């Protein structure tokens, strides 16, 4: 089966050019000047004139079915990967979880069981370490060597749940330095936050906005700085800060990068567009929709401006969603009368490609940076490059034909995520995902779904090819 994507503007990290993309089977076999007629019989031609042809999006931070706060994230691997496909994402990297007291391999086996036969697009795993002990450290080596899992997430937040202390973090970083893995860090000082939460509740401050107020930017910056220092002590263990939201934390990352350190960070669309006052501070319990950690930041400070700048200058390398949806009914409602019981998380896996493209429309990012932050750098950072993340011969034929003249209106009535609300209800995007191709198969065309559950493959990842 061969397919020709004809006459589109192919966008890569180093530039754009009008070209035809020839696909055979699951692979891209040529990127051709449009005046050249391929000498093979082409089964299907897709006209991409006037459209962008980009590598399929890679969302490097999702939590399908994640157990959290007494419930589980509402998207299954079936519903969540289908929604991702609609939005132009053809690979997710989800977080398998070792709960505190659990054997790492058992946590991993549980994630393989959840995903087997369920995914619509390709998928890989990071591993959350909820208990760093001698066995977990040995398991890290095995996961890197044998299981294609080359990144591990630790938490400086959530004492009693996933939290690691500084000694555990240092040991995990030393192990990663040896075996080549990347340490991903949820950088918030959870011990101090718990004090602030307790004090707020004692004062009767129970509304969702206090979730944000009790997680100040200073405590994100402190933890980010501490993680960077621990990584330095672990002989420059590669470190990746997840869901960075505060200017002060970004400044710590920038300082380390200026010193040539292997320190990287991602942000998420919610921090680029939504705020503490307008969303988390919505009247009554409405703000629960936007409870996530790190929290949305104040619009009266410079966070969003600084995050866009960080994306331009690569202090922020990637935009991921941290997709962790909970419905209002029965899930977010667990925190009625006590913000600390609202399950943490926002859904958005379907909208990342569009929302970052809006940054291009608004003059915040170049087309090349759009593609880099949503596809090419995630592939390089997490050991999937050049199989994924680039439109070039030999790579998987994961392609999105994106219409810059189309329009997308985000909302509950039209989205495909298993959520009873949208974090971006009514937002209008100038641009639209047209056709989505996953390993040579058209899975979305003009809003119609042609994929199927179970076609997504587990990807064993290599080591990061992004390190300095
Ligand atoms: N981010 C969030 O609020 N929920 C998902 C879990 C995590 O990434 O910390
Ligand atoms: Zn986190
Ligand atoms: Zn997360």
- What CATH number does residue 35 fall under? 2.30.40.10
Tell me if 292 CB under 6 Å of ligand 1.
yes
* CB-CB contact of 203 with 259 (8 Å): no
Residue 49 CB-density burial (10 A; 0-12 exposed, 13-18 middle, 19+ buried): exposed
Domain identity same for 298 and 431: no
Closest CA to 183 of 227, 216, 147, 220: 227
Q: How many domains does the structure of the chain reveal? A: 2
Q: Which DSSP letter does residue 336 get? A: T
User: Is 389 part of any domain?
Assistant: no
List the domain range (segments joined by +) for residue 112. Answer: 55-381
Three-state SS for 362?
coil
Task: Examine the fold and report which residue of 381, 416, 440 is the final residue of a domain before the chain moves on.
Answer: 381
pLDDT in tens, the chain (468 residues): 899 999 999 999 999 999 999 999 999 999 999 998 877 889 999 999 999 999 999 999 999 999 999 999 999 999 999 999 999 999 999 999 999 889 999 999 999 999 999 999 999 999 999 999 999 999 999 999 999 999 999 999 999 999 999 999 999 999 999 999 999 999 999 999 999 999 999 999 999 999 999 999 999 999 999 999 999 999 999 999 999 999 999 999 999 999 999 999 999 999 999 999 999 999 999 999 999 999 999 999 999 999 999 999 999 999 999 999 999 999 999 999 999 999 999 999 999 999 999 999 999 999 999 999 999 999 999 999 999 999 999 999 999 999 999 999 999 999 999 999 999 999 999 999 999 999 999 999 999 999 999 999 999 999 999 998
Counting ligands in written order, which one lies closest to the CA of residue 68?
1
**Ligand 1 pocket check: which of 208, 293, 326 to mutate, most ligand atoms within 8 Å of Cβ?**
293
Which region, left, alpha or beta, applies to residue 277 given φ > 0 means left and ψ of -120 to 50 means alpha?
alpha
Residues 192 and 143 in one domain: yes
Ligand 1 centre distance from Cα of residue 62 (Å): 9
* Residues 20, 116 within the same domain: no
Is residue 467 situated within a structural domain? no
Question: What is residue 321's DSSP assignment?
Answer: -
Do 39 and 134 sit in the same domain of this protein?
A: no
Ligand 1: nearest atom to the Cα of 344: 3
Q: Are residues 96 and 168 in the same domain?
A: yes
Boundary (domain end) residue, out of 381, 407, 434 = 381
> Nearest residue CA, atom 7 of ligand 1?
293
What is the DSSP secondary structure assignment for residue 339, as one 8-state letter?
Answer: G
Whether residue 419 sits in one domain with residue 286: no
Helix (H, G, I), strand (E, B) or coil at 98: strand
Query: Of ligand 1's atoms, which has the minimum distance to the CA of residue 95?
Result: 8
Q: How far is CA 144 from the centre of its chain?
A: 21
Question: Two tokens at 9?
Answer: 């503007």
Q: Which atom belonging to ligand 1 lies closest to the Cα atom of 158?
A: 9
Least distant ligand from the CA of 73: 1
């Amino acid at each position: 089966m061969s397919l020709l994507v004809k006459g589109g503007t192919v966008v890569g990290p180093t530039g754009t050019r009008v070209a035809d993309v020839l696909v055979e089977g699951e692979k891209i076999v040529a990127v051709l000047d449009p005046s050249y007629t391929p000498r093979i019989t082409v089964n299907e031609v897709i006209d991409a004139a006037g459209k962008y042809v980009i590598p399929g999006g890679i969302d490097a931070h999702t939590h399908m079915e994640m157990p959290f706060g007494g419930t589980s994230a509402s998207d299954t691997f079936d519903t969540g990967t289908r929604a991702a496909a609609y939005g132009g994402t053809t690979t997710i990297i989800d977080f398998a979880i070792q709960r505190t007291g659990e054997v790492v391999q058992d946590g991993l086996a549980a994630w393989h069981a959840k995903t087997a036969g369920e995914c619509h697009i390709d998928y890989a795993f990071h591993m959350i370490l909820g208990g760093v002990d001698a066995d977990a450290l040995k398991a890290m080596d095995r996961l890197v060597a044998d299981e294609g899992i080359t990144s591990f997430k630790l938490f400086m937040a959530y004492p009693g749940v996933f939290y690691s202390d500084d000694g555990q973090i240092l040991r995990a970083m030393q192990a990663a330095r040896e075996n080549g893995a990347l340490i991903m860090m949820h950088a918030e000082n959870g011990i101090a936050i718990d004090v602030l939460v307790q004090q707020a509740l004692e004062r009767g401050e129970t509304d969702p906005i206090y979730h944000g107020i009790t997680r100040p930017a200073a405590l994100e910056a402190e933890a980010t700085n501490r993680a960077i220092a621990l990584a330095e002590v672990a002989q420059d263990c590669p470190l990746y800060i997840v869901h960075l939201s505060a200017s002060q934390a970004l400044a710590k990352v920038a300082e380390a990068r200026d010193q040539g350190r292997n320190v990287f960070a991602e942000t998420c669309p919610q921090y680029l567009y939504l705020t503490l006052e307008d969303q988390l501070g919505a009247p009554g319990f409405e703000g629960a929709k936007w409870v996530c950690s790190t929290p949305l930041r104040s619009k009266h400070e410079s966070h969003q401006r600084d995050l866009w700048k960080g994306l331009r200058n690569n202090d922020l390398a990637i935009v991921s969603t941290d997709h962790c949806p909970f419905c209002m009914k029965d899930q977010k409602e667990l925190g009625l009368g006590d913000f600390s019981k609202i399950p943490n998380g926002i859904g958005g896996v379907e909208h990342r490609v569009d929302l970052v493209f809006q940054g291009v429309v608004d003059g915040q990012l170049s087309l090349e940076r759009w593609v880099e932050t949503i596809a090419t750098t995630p592939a390089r950072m997490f050991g999937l490059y050049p199989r994924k993340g680039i439109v070039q011969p030999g790579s998987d034929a994961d392609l999105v034909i994106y219409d810059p003249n189309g329009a997308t209106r985000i909302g509950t009535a039209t989205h495909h995520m298993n959520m009873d609300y949208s974090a971006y209800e009514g937002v209008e995007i100038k641009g639209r995902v047209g056709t989505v191709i996953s390993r040579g198969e058209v899975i979305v065309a003009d809003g119609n779904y042609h994929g199927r559950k179970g076609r997504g493959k587990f990807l064993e990842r290599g080591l990061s090819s992004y390190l300095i």
